[in-house]
Every structure is written in C-alpha cells, then in structure tokens.
Amino acid sequence: MKMSIAKKSALLIFLVLFIDQASKIYVKTHFALGDHVDIFNWFQIYFIENSGMAFGMQFIGKLFLTFFRIAAVVLIFFYLRSLIKKQFSTGYILTISLLLAGAAGNIFDSVFYGVLFSDSYGKVATFLPPEGGYAPLFYGKVVDMLYFPLIKNSAGEVIFFKPIFNVADSAITIAVFIILFFYRKELNQSFEKKPKQNVSPEK
C-alpha cells in the first residue's frame, strides 16, 4: 500500500523528533555539564547547555526566544500543510518537514526541560526531582552534544569546527541547505499568488 505524502511527512517529523529527544534525554541523564566522550579523534559527545538559538548563539531574551520558536513552528506547520494541499513535490515537502521537526525539537527543551530535570552542574541531572526542576516553564535550556573538532593547531587548540549542536540543529541546517541548493524555485512558487482569471460578463 502506497504511503501518502502527508503520512511520509508525519513519519519523518516523528523520527527526527524521537532521535533528537532520545539523544538529549540520554545525555542529560548520563552526563554532567562539560562531560565528554571521544568517539573518534574528530568527533565527541560533549554535553553543554545554551539558552540561545542554533549552535549556541545568544543575542535576545530567553522568554522572547522561546515564544519566537513556538510562533515559527506554527507558521512552518501551516506552510507545510498548504504545500501538501497544493501538491508540491515530495522532495520539497519532506525538506520542509525536516525543517519543522528541527524547529520543534529545541522547543521541548526550552519549554519543558527546566521543569522536568534538575540542573547538571557538577552532577548528572535527575528526571522529575522532588525539589522541582532547575527553571520555570519556558525557561529551560537547550541540550547540545555533537562536537566535531575537525582541525586543530600545533598546540592542540581547535580552530575548526567549534560549535557544539544537536540533532534538531542538524535537521534545520540540512533543510536550509537543501532548499537553497535544490528548491529555490519551489520556495518562490509557494509564495506566488495565482492571478485572478478575468471572466467576461455574459451577454
């Protein structure tokens, strides 16, 4: 039985969110802040938290950022729904689905993690601690853990790639690059308004 594009989109969103949240919860409940494990000499699981946007950027208030994220996810959701309704290409719809999943992934951290977990300073966090979480609702921090120190200088200092990020950040970045390189035409078409047809009055 052939799967509809709507179901494919929903499945992709679910899988990305599941992998994103599973990896974050595992790191949060097994690592103290700053702990890291070398997987390869060019890849580490390195636990940090941030209050900002993708790749740890911080330049606006935490509460504003959280509500901005929620608004962005709502807008992307309705945009995705319109693409499915208008029967855009499968590739473009799945790319926007990937973007939506990435944007939604970090919202869970921002909204709920402060309430659900204790802090990770010098210790592994506890899920649903009796004394309450480390921050109020909407003030949670985003869990990052993927670190690729690809190039180091002679002193062993990383000169590329310094940002530490998560699966949701990766999904957003991949989706944006796919749109820019392969789907700019579809992006433009999706915002074009079809001209109204002139109907000649009946004689």
**What residues are annotated to the active site?**
144, 169
Residue 14, preceding bond cis, omega within 30 degrees?
Answer: no
- Length of the chain, please? 203
What CA–CA distance (Å, rounded) separates 181 from 93? 15
Residues 6+ apart with CB under 8 A from 144: 47, 48, 49, 50, 56, 164, 165, 166, 169
- Residue 167 phi/psi, 5-degree rounding, is -65, -40
**Inter-residue contact 42 to 149 (CB < 8 Å):** yes
Strand-pair partners of 144: 48
